[in-house]
Each structure stands twice: as C-alpha cells, then as structure tokens.
Structure 1
C-alpha cells in the first residue's frame, strides 16, 4: 500500500461488500466479539471506525493477505445507534463523515483489522450545473419512492437533502444505483465532486435509466 505520512493515524476497520459515502447511513447487525468490542469502544470514546470495501469476490479474512483485497479508499463512520436485540446481538446505525486513504493494514489477535489512514479533504460545495438537473430530478424521484414505500427505513441518509450540490447528489446516486463495488470505489476516490457526478450521469445515460433499482 501507500507510504505512511505524518498525518496518518490508526483506526479500526469494518470491511464490507458495499461502499459507504459521506452523508450515507449504514445499518449493521453486530454479533462477532471483535466487532462488538470495537463498537462499544467507539461508543465509549466517541470515536469513528473505517468502512472499507472488500473488492475480491471470494475473500478469506483468515488469509494473512486478506488486507490486499480491501479498497485503498474508505469512509469514516460515526456510530449513531447501538441497540441490543439479544445479549450478544446488536443492531447499529452509523453515518459516513469523511473519506480516507488506506495506507496500510494489520490484524489484531482477536481478528479485528486496523488501518493506518490519512484523511481526504471533504468535497467542496459545488452548485449543480444545468446539464445535471435531470439526474438530480431522478434522485428526487428515487427518494420519494424510498419514503413512500418505506424501503430503507426513516433514515436512508443524513438529512437535510441538498439536491443543489454536486457532491451530495453524486454520493446519494452512487449509493443507490446497483453498481459493482469496484465501480463504487472508483467514484468514491474522485476528489472532484463534479467529475464524480459526470461519471454517474454517463453510467445512467448508458443504461438508459431502464435498469435502475433501489437497493
């Protein structure tokens, strides 16, 4: 992975087969001891953990080289809800705050992955250009369907909505569109939110809007 920098620091990682974007919400069912301990520590210390995508289609976390299958860009997640369903089963809800570069990884004795990370600057506010008003309208339509059908619960993403901002529109569409993990991570890695939205618009146009589903 990349060379360490003076601004790098270590955080616990939660590798997943999905991608979290800043402003997005992720619900996780926690039952493994390593993740229960991690979540409790984050709650106690008001700390974040890192969500990184597993890009290998058939990874083995027991493999010493499993970290090589992680995306090199991830998102910090802030724990918002931590509710016990059973003694060793918790339902959690966290939201994405800031992207980071993953520099190196190591695995603790309990199996928890730790990542050395460097934060990526937040997206600058960028007004939605006229040529992307159609995709913003599509997002608004998807949001309406989500709410009316209660598809993703009350909190599909952090509010308020900002349909006039390139980064917010791009991030929500990237989450909601049925794209492969590698493609979502390519979008997450884009430093310019306008370019991220350009890429998503191209994907939508190529697909003709026919196969868009919410998931």
Structure 2
C-alpha cells in the first residue's frame, strides 16, 4: 500500500480563474491579507495556491475554493499605474486541498497534497491538428509562448495545458481539464470541444 502523501501548508488565493502548470499569472495585490501573503512568499521563497472560486468573490469574505489548484511562484514585482503592487507568478505543481482554515486576517490556508508532474508523453498522431491550432493561437493570444521549442508542442501535457490556457473556455471546463491526470485524455477532451469555436 502506498504511503499517504505528506500534506503541505499553503496560503490560498481563490480567484475567478484557473492557473495551469507552466502558465504565467499577473495579479494586482491590494487587500492587506494578500499583501501579507506576498511578503511571506518573498521571505520564505515559497509559493501560494491558486484555486478557482466555487462560491464567493475575490474580495471580502474568504471564498470557497475548488479542491484542486496550482501552486504559483512569484517571479517578479512591480508597481502598477494605480500605485498598487503588481506581481507576476508562474504555475507549478497541482495539488488537492485536504483541509482549509481562515486566519484572523481572513487569509485562507490549506493543508494540501501536491501532485507529481505528469509524465512526458509524445502527442499521438491523431491529435496533430491540435498542435497546428495551438501554433495559431500563440500567434495572436500567447506571445509569451512564441519561442517555445517544437519539443514542447510534441509533449501531450504541455500541449493540453497551453490549449486550455488560451482557448475561450468556461471556468468549469478549465477546472475539469486541470483535474484530469492523463495528458492524452485531456487532448481528447479538447478535440471534442474545438468544433464549438469553428466558424460555420
């Protein structure tokens, strides 16, 4: 029997978005609880957990987060035109929230089980069209991926996460794709979704 995965204490940031492994995330930080969270991350070098909001709002009372989220690691800080703290973060490992608790400052924390990275799987030939579609999406919607090598496009996990990131999907769909653990199954789901976006 496998040993239980040790739980990690992680500050949680429920958002009205889904963060995928490898994806960039830009945020403006203004609530005191999240300013404290950013200071903690800067001090410890740790990350914070991004979870889709299932109930509630980004501002105010702690929102109900989805059970599966993604660790975000801060890579840059800046001051926005409005004088707010802006951060750039990068999606890392996915996790499952086992327990949550709210601190006196309203910051949600979770005991989370980190998921291992998906294995690198060659994109099956029947999904080659998805590689072409992603190349077109990157030209218009994903300039940060323009320098990605062809070896990334050949990786089923990377291809699926990038398509899920750039396609105009509803958040419940994005969350479902995040929670899948088979990269080829994710490509199959995306292939079935694509006809919605094709012009008649």
Question: Separation in 2 of the partners of 1:79 and 1:157?
Answer: 22
Query: Does the 8 Å contact 1:24/1:156 carry over to 2?
Result: no
Give structure 2 stretches of 5+ with no counterpart: none
* Residue aligning to 2:187: 197
Alpha-carbon separation, structure 2, partners of 1:158 and 1:105: 39
Matched, 1:177 2:135: no
Query: Residue 61 of structure 1: CA displacement?
Result: 6.6
Paired residue secondary structure (1:34): helix
Quick check: 1:130 aligned with 2:130? no
Q: CA RMSD in A?
A: 2.4
Q: How far, CA to CA, are the matches of 1:54 and 1:14 in structure 2?
A: 9
Q: 1:116 aligned to 2:111?
A: yes
Distance 1:80 1:158 in 2: 19
Residues 61 and 91 (structure 1 numbering): CA distance in 2 closer, same or farther, change over 3 Å? closer
Alignment of 1:1-215 (within 5 A): 7-56=6-55, 59=57, 66-67=63-64, 70-85=65-80, 89-146=84-141, 155=144, 162-205=152-195, 207-210=196-199
Unaligned runs of 5+ in 1: 147-151
Alignment size in residue pairs: 196
In structure 2, what is the Cα distance between the partners aligned to 1:157 and 1:13? 31
> C-alpha displacement at 1:51, in angstroms?
0.3
* Residues 17-62 of structure 1: CA deviation (Å, up to 9, x unaligned): 1100001001001111111111121012110100000123x55875
TM-score (norm 1): 0.82
TM-score (norm 2): 0.88
Q: Deviations for 1:174-202, whole angstroms, at most 9, x for unmatched residues? A: 11112121111111111111111111111
